[in-house]
Amino acid sequence: MLTGPKTNGVSPNILLFIRNSTSASLEEFSTETKKLYRESIDSGNLSILDEEKTTLNGKEILIRNSLGQYNTGSQILNMKYRETVFKVDGTFYTITYANTADNFDNSLSKYNQVLDSLVLPESKSGGCLIATAAFGTELAPQVQLLRETRDNVLFSTGSGTAFMTGFNEFYYVFSPTISDWERQSPLFKETIRYTLTPMLWTLSILQFTDIDSESKLLGYGIGIILLNVGIYFIVPTGIILRLKKFIR
């Protein structure tokens, strides 16, 4: 905890909370923590002003602003809070700034300096470099779909985890180079974006399935692979053959 000089008897504080959670995303974690605040919210002692999902040093974060009342015994203080939440490998980190509502803005810049100085580690599973470069941001729905499929579906089973471990060793050999090319060439970026779209459509099927066993994952996995083979190879080949026959 970091504590600043007192103003009117109250010190601004910056606190770090670390929590393991089964939540898969920042939104789910936010919903989970709101349940912990439910009693204070219902009693009128706490109100959540707003939430915003953004990025910090390339890492996806959630920012929440709240107002609360704190009874010191001799007086009731109107407090304001700002929470910044990020996730690394299943662990959620919350950095909270607390100060009186009247003095909140006075020390907010110091809190922002603390955040800007953070070097946030990447998840061990790595990022979706090619898709992020193609769609412009980690917050793009297409990138979120890939991440959720990886974290919630593939990593939920032993075979899926083994597959991703092997895939990552291969993927991260070339993906940094491809993503750099995308940033340098708008045409190449658009080509990659259109190329990824059919695959993303097939992966979205997994969001509507209940995969709770190795056999289900294997079955759906084979089906999606075959579907992609058809989209990327069989259909184009058939079109080319028909065009050749038509030309002749």
Residue 100 lies in a domain: yes
pLDDT band with cut points at 50, 70 and 90 for residue 143: confident
Let me know if residue 134 belongs to a domain. yes
Percent above pLDDT 90 for the chain: 19
Please tell me the least confidently modeled range out of 47-51, 55-59, 101-105, 120-124. 120-124
**pLDDT tens digits for 43-83?**
888 999 999 988 876 678 899 999 998 877 778 889 999 99
Question: What's the Rg (C-alpha) of the chain?
Answer: 24
In a domain? residue 203 = yes
The reported pLDDT for the residue numbered 121 is 56
In this structure, are residues 141 and 126 in contact, taking their beta carbons and an 8 Å threshold?
Answer: no
Q: Which residues pair with 3 in a beta bridge?
A: 13
**Which run of H or of E encompasses 214?**
helix 214-229
User: With 90 as the cut, is the pLDDT of residue 187 above it?
Assistant: yes
**Prediction pTM value:** 0.50
Give the mean pLDDT of 24-51: 86
The half-sphere exposure of 202 on its side-chain side, counting CA atoms within 13 A, is 17
Residue 240 has pLDDT above 80, yes or no: yes
pLDDT classification of 1: cutoffs 50, 70, 90: low
Question: Does residue 31 surpass a pLDDT of 60?
Answer: yes
What does the pLDDT read at residue 90? Answer: 66
Picking from 116, 148, 163, the residue at the C-terminal end of a domain is 116
Please determine, for residue 230, whether its predicted confidence score (pLDDT) is greater than 90: no
Q: What are phi and psi of 81, to 5 degrees?
A: -130, 145
Cα 134 to Cα 136: distance, rounded to the nearest angstrom? 6
User: Do 94 and 177 sit in the same domain of this protein?
Assistant: no
Q: Which residue has the higher pLDDT, 16 or 89?
A: 16
Q: Is the dihedral of CA 16, 20, 21, 22 positive or negative?
A: positive
SS (HEC) of 112-148 = HHHHHCCCCCCCCCCCCHHHHHHHCCCCCHHHHHHHH
Do 176 and 182 form a contact (C-beta atoms < 8 A)? Answer: no
* Domain co-membership, 107 together with 18: yes
Pick from 28-32, 97-101, 123-127, 224-228: least confident? 123-127
- Mean pLDDT score of the chain, rounded to an integer? 83
Q: Are residues 107 and 137 part of one domain?
A: no
Q: Model confidence at 104, in pLDDT bands (50, 70, 90)?
A: very high
The torsion angles phi and psi of 185, rounded to 5 degrees, stand at -130, 110
**Do 164 and 222 belong to one domain?**
yes
Q: Say how many domains are in the chain.
A: 2
Q: Is the pLDDT of residue 23 over 70?
A: no
The answer to whether residue 248 is domain-embedded is no
User: Picking from 42-56, 138-152, 192-206, which range would have the lowest pLDDT averaged per residue?
Assistant: 138-152
Residue 233: pLDDT band with limits 50, 70, 90: confident
Average pLDDT over residues 137-156: 82
What is the per-residue pLDDT for 125?
A: 55
* Structural domain containing residue 192: 129-242
